[in-house]
Amino acid sequence: MRSAASIVIKKVEAFAVAVPLSYPIKMAHKTFDKVESLVVRMESNDGVVGWGEAASAPSLTGETWQGMVAIVRDHMAQYVVGRDARLRLALMRTVRTRVQGAPGATSALEMALIDLVARSLQVPMAMLLGGLVRDYVEPMWLLGGGAIAEDIERARQKSREGYRLFKLKIGVRPVDEEIEMSNAMRAELGPDIKLCADANAGFSLASARRYLSRTQDVNLEFLEQPFAPDAQAALKTLAHESPVPLCADQSVHTIDDIVQQAGLGVDGVTFKLNKLGGLGECLKAAAVSEQLGLKAIMAAKIAETSIASAAIVQISCVMPSIEWGVSLSHVYLAEDIVKDPLMVANGRVDLPSGSGLGVVIDQDALDRLRIA
């Protein structure tokens, strides 16, 4: 590790990219074929550059890419430029105090800040997040929304590539078709592959009951976000009845939300940097979740690039437990903005060996995909 005196932040740039997916991904309320993301570039006086990213997510965080670019450029940057990046905790406290209600933009700025410090010190980002619990992750693959035969064929292919955990995106088709797809997937993949399901708030209590009663042989690891966040009575009822553990995603944006969801009976939480407001807040939330006995998923937002995926790998190697898996999103992209996208080999992604995030930006791809 290289020692450093001050790491003075020279400038912060914020812009956006639009990256196409390899194929459309259907969820309960939206189909994705491309995703616009905020990219933050932070440079020190020594010429070291840190990178951050957050996908546009108006239905999750209320943020569009246009708004995130503007808020980083016109409001957040002034609180870090000219300051010592080593004081990142104090800098981010100031940013969060002065700029409210922008968790995705805050996350991208903090990611770039920590990446800058880690690159300056020539250590992996994980070393600044608390040290390693593990040095690789086993990512899941998302399935669902297309024709059942297409989903099964994709599951076959990914199983051959080493994936051992698949998430079924449900709440898209009529519930009986989701039941058919889920049972067909289990029959195809056999008993050794782990399956979970994510309704993305697309179920009613009646449809959730029907789905769970007719997929008992699927042996789901968990059912994620069956209802809209405000359907708390339905969630409490289902948690009492369900033979399958329940996981909260869209219902969790703060530590208080985690405590509330635990009180309603959920068994686990999906952590996303853009909804919790960054790496630091995510680690705090994970500690509370563990104290409450909840299981964890660490997930990128569809479909962030290898910048955000690298951050997910870094923090996942630090978190005390990620029993329900890691969801990386760059694997669904038709192209990426780093030179060597994170590789999945034998069902795992190793912690990158380089400093900071451990990825190198492909400037040509970045320029080509840039939209603002």
Q: What is the pTM of this model?
A: 0.95
Each of the 372 residues of the chain gets a pLDDT tens digit; together they read: 555 589 999 999 999 999 999 988 877 667 788 889 999 999 999 999 999 999 999 999 999 999 999 999 999 999 999 999 999 999 999 999 999 999 999 999 999 999 999 999 999 999 999 989 999 999 999 997 678 899 999 999 999 999 999 999 999 889 999 999 999 999 999 999 999 999 999 999 999 999 999 999 999 999 999 999 999 999 999 999 999 999 999 999 999 999 999 999 999 999 999 999 999 999 999 999 999 999 999 999 988 999 999 999 999 999 999 999 999 999 999 999 999 999 999 889 999 999 999 999 999 999 999 998
Residues contacting 206, CB < 8 A, separation 6+: none
CATH number of the 129-361 domain: 3.20.20.120
Class of domain 9-123: alpha beta
On whether the CB atoms of residues 175 and 210 are closer than 8 A, the answer is yes
Alpha carbon distance 43, 11 (integer Å): 5
Residues carrying CATH 3.20.20.120, the chain:
129-361
Per the CB < 8 A criterion, the answer to whether 39 and 52 are in contact is yes
> Which residues make up the CATH 3.30.390.10 domain(s) of the chain?
9-123
Tell me the per-residue pLDDT of 224-246, one tens digit each, with 9 for 90 and over: 999 999 999 999 999 999 999 99
